Structure 1
Amino acid sequence: MVSVRSGRCGFKQMRHFTAAATLMLGLAACAQAPLRPAARPTPAAAPQPLAHMVVATPDADHDLLAQLMAGEMALGRTDLKSAALHYGKAMAISNDPEVAERAAMLAIAVHDDDAASRALARWQSLGAKPAPMAQARAQLALDHGDTPEAQHQLQILTDSHDKNAWRDFGQVLVAARDQAQAAQLLETLATPQRLPADPQAWLAMSELGDKLGRHAYAQRVADAAIVRFPGNAEVYVWSAQMKAGNGDTKGAFALLQQATAKSPDNVRLRLVYASLLSQSGDDAAAMKLLDHGPQDADTYQLRAALAVHDKDSKALSALYRQLQQAAPGVRAQNAFLLGQLAEMQHRDAEALAWYDQVGDDDPHAFDADLRSAVLLQAQGKSTDAHELLGQMEMDYLDQPNQLRQAWQLDAEIYMQEQNYPQAISAFTRALQVVPNDPGLLYGRGLAYASAGQVDPAVRDFRSLLKLKPDDIDASNALGFTLADANRDLPEAEQLIGRARAARPNDPAIADSWGWVQYRLGHLDQAVQSLRSAWQAGKDGDIGVHLGEVLWEQGDHRGAQQVFDAVRKLDPHNASLQSTLKRLNP
């Protein structure tokens, strides 16, 4: 039995904020004086030194902790305007430069120029560092459209030698409201002469230029990075990707060839090169490149994808054997892929075993369980399949997409078992999670129709056609359902005719067309359409329809031949059994 995996959940981290310490003043109660003789008068009690002391409690506007908490709560609601207001008040009563910095950045974010100016002044008076101060002033200048001031501040920032200077520089430009202005500043300041001796900064600026639409600049920086960092594979990869994106495939290949010659064991480099080769139609070269050298999950995955694309069963078998013989850690990391490879080679038992080894924290854990349910059903273990899917439905209650898939598969397995009430129930539960989902409506409509519940089936198909008026399958399904119930035949003919015009060679639609013609009394047209559908599809239900129409035409021998063919094809076909009882009561 496949192991049951528990659902995974995450915990949101609380935001941190600067807290002010509060002082609690405790007063000791006065001890009672001893009793005196009654004859002597009791002197008046001497006033206690702290009896009339008043402890001042600040109002909310002057309570630092209250303002910080209110500001953070507003940030939690993404209410930046309120957060800026509260942090502005907190800044006025705090000597913490971080509070002033937060107040300044929030004021800039909500475009409150006066509050931003006050916060920047306060922050500077509390000892702001030059780099973050220049970043904030650059943001404010960009907000005002003041390009010269923004350039001045950004130059201060990038000249500061702060370790995060160029990252912060990029953040300022990304957040700019005027992207053309940001692009101009990028080209002016992020030149090869000014960029630091850090390849990541060069790549980031090139990527930013590409994002801002300055493709020529982005390519120049990428090419210059190759000269500046000739041993770095990442700069070759990025420059090649840029060239390929701009249509220079030849240039991209030249760069990648140089890079792989220098770094033949670089996995990312080989992946990019192989992907480009495959996109160019040379899967053989891509496979050859990936077959040798270090491997990781991505190389194995791409090799499998290439083999599947080329329908290369030998390559799939070789990859499966290689992974089977890999170290335990490698096998564990690729358990889902091993399961897929085993499935492709019809090794269902092995596939189940591999899927069972996919860990709870693996991104493919859900898919592994889903495929396990499919394989269990294929092995005739439908009870185990439903049990696994039921557990998955519990595990993924808080994940609607996964929950929908589990219910849909559960319903489809019930459909294969011809347990239509259970299928309807599963589809209905899924529709409660994802209302008006086209696939679920279609599936439940089929389940209703198969159960003989025509009215709800028609409702589902009509609902689906309201959502997707051009859905060919829904048009065909509604038309056939109406024709099978021998009602609304003109509408049924129109619906199926629309589907037939869209997909004239579809056997299922030809079957529907033949069936509606039969209901309309056009027996010759019905036989012609049903015979072509039967010859094209050899589907049991189509054969039953053809046999019935032949029987109605009086061709009992021809009908019996078709019924015999259906019996060989599908001995337990329910439609055949019910039709034979009706024709031979």
Structure 2
Amino acid sequence: MVRGLPVRPSRPVQEFLMPALVRHRWWLSAALALSCAAQAQTQTPETPAAADAPASAASAPVVNSDLDAPMFYQLLIGELELQGGQPGVAYQVLLDAARRSNDEELFRRVVQIALQSRAGDQAAIAARAWREALPTSLEAHRTQIQLLALLNRPAEIPPVLRSLLALTPADGRGPLIAALPGLFQRSPEPARVQEAFEPLLRETAAKPETRFASLLVLALLAKNADRYETALIHVRAAAKDFPEREEPLLMALELLPRRPEAEALVTAELQAKPDKQALRLAYARALARAQRPGDAAREFRVLTQESPDDASHWLALGALELDLQHPDAAETALQRYLKLVDKPGGASSSLAERAIAAAGLDKADKEAHLQGQLLLAQAAEMRGDFKTAEKRLAGIEAAPGNLDIAYRRASLLARQGRIDEGRELLRQLPADRDQDRRARVLAESQLLRENKQWQAAYDLLGQAIKQAPEDADLIYEQSMMAEKLGRAQEMEALLQKVIQLKPQHYHAYNALGYSLADRNERLQEARDLISKALSFAPGEPFIVDSMGWVEFRLGRLGEAERLLRQAYGSRPDAEIAAHLGEVLWAAGQQDEARRVFADAARRDPRNEALQSVMQRLQVRP
């Protein structure tokens, strides 16, 4: 019996002890010891209990615990120190106890104490001691890896991970490796992460059971570290060795903005297996994100043919056709979309509400439905059918202050010569937050820009910049207005400020380079600026157009034609058509130039750049 203990520990003491003693079964021995102590202190020789006890109880075997008195007191002290607000002392006492006992539950308790005290380094030390004391414990390995990742110490993880992989059955090693990037999603130094794991992952990539996961993780870590060429090498290896898997091709799409050659992996697969709709959809979305609406629309046209009852494909196609200045094609797609989601009947007050209620759409679908109605109104406006556009807008009942709807109505008013009313409509939108006020200013400046009110837009943006002097997007927009006003030096100064504030603002590099090329000044500097923009957004059609234009200014007609054809194929914009047509004209291909001009004029007859070059070359629309 343990001398000096009270007959029964108080309830708080029991609560202190339970976390440390659970699962070790020490609590059972302690309870038995305390019970024996209570019996010895309360019984007297006259007490008949012992004499009357059944013989079976007296002969019952005693189960001894490995909990001795010093260990019991050490656990008790540790928990009491923790309860008394001394987590550091409790950590040291209980960690020593865990090392002496090699008890997994006790190690887990020590790690928990350190984490609750926000002592990450101490938690990692305890986890390491846990793994060293119990080298076959999977939980100890995982805990140490997670803590090292949390502390951003990737270089210390590979030896632990190697040991964990050796303990893990073969069929579980691939998923274990695949989960690795998730530990470092927010790492401030992705290059260090990639360098730390590359040697181990190359080892595991040589083993059949872990090759696929290892190649994908190698690619993902390299991509996160902006090492796109290395990432593409691993993606190609995975696609070659595992042709039945789509994951490498989806990874290739993630590389597409920086490594355009990755696209060939996807196009080859779709050409061989055109029925892979999930891959085609991912490809179409990647093209849209890359600002290539022409190519994205091509893929969505295929998707609508293969799955004509999928409403989302028709909505995406309608938006892209509108972006391409194809209002009739956009309306056809959008009407098909509404036909699929609308059902007759319902008692709601508006067409949109009736359709949504009848279709049973969720919140996201409601927003998409309203967007479809809004795009239909925009298509009518693009055709010059303002009455139909206004009617469609009136049928949309969305949340008060919807900026998209207000802007379309303001645009309709401006197109009818009532721009002041349109501006007032935008100014009435609620703007309780800074981001709302900023969005309202950008919308109003865009309205003014579309209606050639350059000075008014410049002044409006100037007032907003006084309130937010480091807002790179506002400054960029003002630089575009300075260019329209013929203030080239001011535009250049504003763009340089944008680059200083936001070094990855590739639109600023492109705008500055194109401006120099268009004025036929400092052409090599212009080319360098546009190359910088392309390093951030390879294949972006307007930047490719700028590079084609500067090559034309440098007298390199063949390269200019190649680049401009590429840009126009991805985005058949009227301004790109103007550049391509002029290069074709200069190269002696006048008939093709006329066809390009005519095609662009049908879609956007009001485009200033197109009108200017056609007048200069005396080409009739």
TM-score range relative to shorter protein: 0.3 to 0.5
TM (norm. structure 2) is 0.44
User: Larger radius of gyration, structure 1 or 2?
Assistant: 1
| More helix as a share of residues | 2
